[in-house]
Amino acid sequence: MPPRAKLEELIDGPKNFRRADVIRTFEKKGNDQDPWYIVVDNKVYDIKDFVSDHPGGAVILTQIGKDSTDAFYNFHPNEVIEILANYYVGDIAQEDIITSKEGFAQELRKYKEIFKKKNYFKSSKLYYAQKVIHNIIIWATSVTILAKFGDNLFGVLLSAAIMGLFWQQCGWLSHDFLHHQVFDNRKYNDLMGDFLGGICQGFDPSWWKDKHNTHHAEPNVHGQDPDINTHPILTWSEHALLDIFDPEMAEINAKLLPQWIVRFMIKYQTLSYFPILCVARVSWCIQSILFVLPNGQNGKPADARMPISLTEQLSLGIHYIWYFYILSFISTWNLVFIFFITSQAICGLLLALVFALNHNGMKILTEEEAQEMDFFIKQVITGRNVIASNPELQFIVDWFCGGLNYQIEHHIFPTLPRHVFHKVQPIVQTLCEKYEIPYHKTTFMEGTKEVFNRLGQVSAACWKLDRKLT
């Protein structure tokens, strides 16, 4: 039953909204006293009572006060609009309706329909079946080596390295399933996400969705994208640096870490970068475990918490059962420790190197800049594609990066199966060139250098600020 205010609105009938009225809800950051408006197809919806039921979690909060048309259709099948209709409160006033004219976004929408007619959004089940089998073979290889050579340092190191690769590849596959690229039935995708992400890899799917969906909605937006909210461990922009040096923020941060330690970490982050990547998997595993605990989401607003299924909790439990069981194949505690550290570090490094290439070192937007920017342009200018220096070796880059080397295309069409990216990439690049939108692609090594250089620039800015303030 809708609340009384909603019933009164239904009696009075829908009303016309000025865009300025909708934007004001963005400026107020969706406080409890005001409606939380979003716009889809020039219709206005008050989502305040829907947030707690939203399957995608807190990502919906990033859309308050915005025209979410492209974001909405990017993440949902068309029929979901019927659910949103329950929260319809009116229309954008006629004088504020933006007439759709030919442009970058309009052409992308047309191409999306063309791709649908060509069945590009229909995955090859055979392709994904062989990918799953391929991953199981990697796992079996690691476990077999460990069982036969668990008393040998070289055997333990080799097994651990292959296990790290197995986890990395499971990360890419679970990513595909949880983006609903594979099956039309989302329940099947979620079950495969529980298997590949939970049982195989040890990452909770709901934790991942909560974080990753928000990243897709607001990529490289300071204060919104959790993937760049890593300071002071890694600080990616001057925006974050100013937050750290701001007296009010410094007082809050001092409760966690002394200011001199925070500044030290930023100044020397180019030295700590690769060691930090090596412990990334351990951090993500801990976050996953905490997320599924009964009080694991206490830091979030009650209506923005993700529901955690028993299946997810069991999948994480099974992961640690099989992982700790195979440690019994190792003859000494010293070798157990070496296997644990090596497998975790290799996976963290292999995952994080690719993650960093996707967006780190690219343009970072303020919330105000993102508010004014077209959804698709935002996806393009904050992403980086990775290509092979030798085109004949592109298949190796595609495999190692799990298709995320087509990062721009993935952000524009997140439900497009990875085996189709190479078909749409030239079209997207040509459109970007037509509308003079920066489209960035580079090799793996060049991209890593760009990421590293960006960290160095922020470190230099930290040194400069520190000298002026002391």
Q: To the nearest whole number, what is the mean pLDDT of the chain?
A: 89
CA 166 to the chain's CA centroid: 20
What's the pLDDT at 59?
82
CA distance 160 to 337: 11
pLDDT by residue (tens digit) across 387-408?
999 999 999 999 999 999 999 9
- Give the residue from 316, 292, 319, 287 showing the smallest Cα distance to 306: 292
Helix (H) or strand (E) holding 40: strand 37-40
Neighbouring CB atoms inside 10 A of 139's CB total 19
Average pLDDT estimate for 57-72: 83
> Greatest CA span in the chain, whole angstroms?
78
Average pLDDT estimate for 334-350: 98
What's the pLDDT at 9?
52
Gap between the terminal Cα atoms of the chain: 59
Spatial contact of 250 and 470, defined as CB atoms under 8 Å apart: no
Question: What percent of the chain is predicted at pLDDT more than 90?
Answer: 63
pLDDT by residue (tens digit) across 21-31?
777 776 655 56
Neighbouring CB atoms inside 10 A of 403's CB total 23
Spatial contact of 418 and 173, defined as CB atoms under 8 Å apart: no
Token representation of residue 289: 């475990």
State the residue for tokens 């080397």: 405
DSSP letter (8 states) at residue 14: -
Lowest-confidence region among 68-72, 143-147, 246-250: 246-250
Spatial contact of 64 and 30, defined as CB atoms under 8 Å apart: yes
CA distance 380 to 376: 6
State the residue for tokens 């759709």: 100
pLDDT by residue (tens digit) across 165-176?
999 999 999 999
Q: In whole angstroms, how far apart are CA 405 and each of 20, 45, 205, 433, 440?
A: 38, 36, 22, 19, 11
The residue count of the chain comes to 470
Say if residue 451's pLDDT is above 70: yes
Give me the architecture of the 4-99 domain, per CATH.
Roll (3.10)
What's the pLDDT at 342?
98
Note if the bond before 219 is cis, omega within 30 degrees.
no
Q: Could you tell me the pLDDT band of residue 1, with boundaries at 50, 70 and 90?
A: very low
Helix (H, G, I), strand (E, B) or coil at 442: strand
Burial (CB count within 10 angstroms: exposed 0-12, middle 13-18, buried 19+), residue 323: middle
Question: What percent of the chain is predicted at pLDDT more than 70?
Answer: 91
Say if residue 277's pLDDT is above 70: yes
Ordered by start, the domain boundaries in the chain are 4-99
Read off the pTM. 0.90
Lowest-confidence region among 2-6, 192-196, 356-360: 2-6
Average pLDDT estimate for 283-291: 94
Lowest-confidence region among 205-209, 242-246, 252-256, 453-457: 252-256
Residue type, 456: G
Spatial contact of 435 and 243, defined as CB atoms under 8 Å apart: no
Interacting residues of 215 by C-beta distance below 8 A, sequence separation 6+: 225, 226, 227
What's the pLDDT at 6?
52
CA distance 190 to 204: 11
DSSP for 286-329, written as a single string: HHHHHHHSTTTTTTS-GGGPPP--HHHHHHHHHHHHHHHHHGGG
Average pLDDT estimate for 150-163: 97
Q: CA angle, corner 212, sides to 209 and 216, nearest 5? A: 125
Strand order in the sheet with 88-92: 15-17, 88-92, 43-46, 37-40
Helix (H, G, I), strand (E, B) or coil at 353: helix
CA distance 210 to 217: 11
Spatial contact of 288 and 316, defined as CB atoms under 8 Å apart: yes
What's the pLDDT at 337?
97
Residue type, 10: L
Helix (H, G, I), strand (E, B) or coil at 386: strand
Average pLDDT estimate for 130-143: 98
What's the pLDDT at 26?
66
Sign of CA dihedral 366, 27, 77, 188: positive
Say if residue 63's pLDDT is above 60: yes
What's the pLDDT at 117?
96
pLDDT by residue (tens digit) across 179-204?
999 999 999 999 999 999 999 999 99
Interacting residues of 17 by C-beta distance below 8 A, sequence separation 6+: 37, 44, 89, 90, 91, 92, 93, 96
